[in-house]
Amino acid sequence: MADGVSVLVGTTKGAFVIEGDCGRGGWTVRGPYCDGWVINHVKGDAVSGTLWAGGGSEWSGAGIWRSTDTGKSWTLGKLSRGKIDEWAANDPGFAEMIGWADPGTEFDGVVQAIWSIAPGPDVLWAGGKPGALFRSTDDGVSWQPVDSFNKHPDRESWNPGGAGLTLHTIVPDRTDPQRIWLAISAAGVFASQDGGESWESRNRLANAEACEGHDHPAGPQDGATGLCVHNMVKASGEDSEILYQQNHHGVYRSPDGGRSWQDITAGLPSTFGFPVAAHPRDPDTIWTLPLNTDFQRFPIDAAAAVWRSRDGGATWEDLRDGLPQTGCYFTVLRQAMATDRREPAGVYFGTNSGSVFASFDEGDKWEEIARHLPTVLSVEVLDRG
């Protein structure tokens, strides 16, 4: 596998791979893959070259595609039957499809689509809609439901967000296989310290004060963050427990693995946005892309800006060089921002208008490395160098 950077893109019409050379230039686009499925998330392993793409719909069913040759060819393991497949419900070949007890088993509503994939130490995790968690111990060849979470005793109280009850964020601890964090819209943050055997809700504000003036049912109240988490990342550092989240109601920082959260929205032009990204080495550097309102969902004043903090959210600066500053009405969705591990760190984001932008100096300047793609749902980076 040649040195360089691959940007893995999930879209409404399949998965794409945008490849750059070792100098992060010469970008080319491959795809679409995965038979044009809605692909919510693509993740990869730089060592093995294996890629996984999760998605699905009521027509295709939910499934996780797997490639062992950096995306040139793919195989599909299904998790539920979609409408297209109902005619073949009794085909014996369906017995091999992941998650089915036998060829005639009807879909029981556990999962409608896969929204997130996360490699952890010795385990590959996947999250779905509605609020379902799966794990694989054979590199994604087969998957098992995580009943400790899928049958959580508080599940009936979870409130679906605008896209339904989606388990969209999985954050494994890369150094401790027992620790993992999840985020669900709109049930909040959950953490496990025993490899997924038990789960704890972690949504408490650090000041433990009730927030007034919010009538959203999942909004900040009773000393808790808003439960409508849009995205969450872990800061760098083997011993770090610092987490950041972009919430429906602002940006928050936790210094203690989500046991308490601090509102760090002050200094940003809006409380609303979807993605947040963390620096690969500096735990205090993060990026986010605020949008104007929940209803319109485009950059403030129709001028695109990524906002960066170098001090853990105490202060923010807007980064605009190379981004459209007039007539910009795109949306950047929750999983559509990522970083590479190079020096200086690269930052990447995709838009619902089909563009992918990149900065190779930590956000100071931006360039468009792909355009005219389908709606971009997710962006991840596979560093091949």
> What tens digit of pLDDT does each residue of 311-339 get?
999 999 999 999 999 999 999 999 999 99
pLDDT cut 70: percent of the chain above it = 88
| 266: DSSP letter | T
In tens, the pLDDT along 249-288 reads 999 999 999 999 999 999 999 999 999 999 999 999 999 9
What is the rounded radius of gyration, in angstroms, for the C-alpha atoms of the chain? 20
Higher pLDDT, 60 or 169: 169
Mean pLDDT is lowest, of 9-13, 166-170, 175-179, 297-301, for 175-179
What domains, with CATH codes, occur in the chain?
A: 5-383 (2.130.10.10)
Q: Enter the pTM of the model.
A: 0.91
Query: What pLDDT score was predicted for residue 308?
Result: 98
Query: How far does CA 289 lie from the centroid of its chain?
Result: 15
Average pLDDT, the chain: 88
Q: How far is CA 326 from CA 12, 300, 333, in A?
A: 26, 10, 20
More confident residue, 242 or 158: 242
Give the pLDDT of residue 238: 75
- Between 94 and 232, name the one with better pLDDT: 232
**What phi and psi values does residue 122 have, to the nearest 5 degrees?**
70, -5
Share of residues in the chain with pLDDT > 90 (%): 71
Mean pLDDT of 125-141: 93
Q: How far apart are CA 138 and CA 68, in angstroms?
A: 13
- Using the predicted structure, report yes or no on whether residue 81 has a pLDDT greater than 70: no
Mean pLDDT check: name the lowest of 20-34, 155-169, 181-195, 275-289.
Answer: 155-169
Rounded Cα distance between 248 and 226, Å, is: 7
Please provide residue 68's backbone torsions phi and psi, each rounded to the nearest 5 degrees.
-110, 10
d(CA 94, CA 81): 10
Contacts of 54 (CB under 8 A, 6+ apart): 39, 40, 41, 42, 63, 64, 65, 113, 114, 115, 116, 117, 126, 128
At 217 the three-state DSSP class reads: coil
pLDDT band at 2 (very low <50, low <70, confident <90, very high): low
Does the pLDDT value for residue 210 go beyond 70? Answer: no
30 or 89: which leads in pLDDT:
30
Instruction: Give mean pLDDT, residues 144-169.
Output: 88
The reported pLDDT for the residue numbered 110 is: 63
Among 111-125, 132-146, 200-214, the range scoring the smallest mean pLDDT is: 200-214
**Per-residue confidence (pLDDT) for residue 269, from 0 to 100:** 97
- Report which residue type is found at 25: G
Of 319, 317, 298, 301, which Cα lies nearest the Cα of 367? 319
Signed CA dihedral, 143, 181, 248, 303: sign only:
negative
Answer whether the bond into residue 344 is a cis peptide, omega within 30°. yes
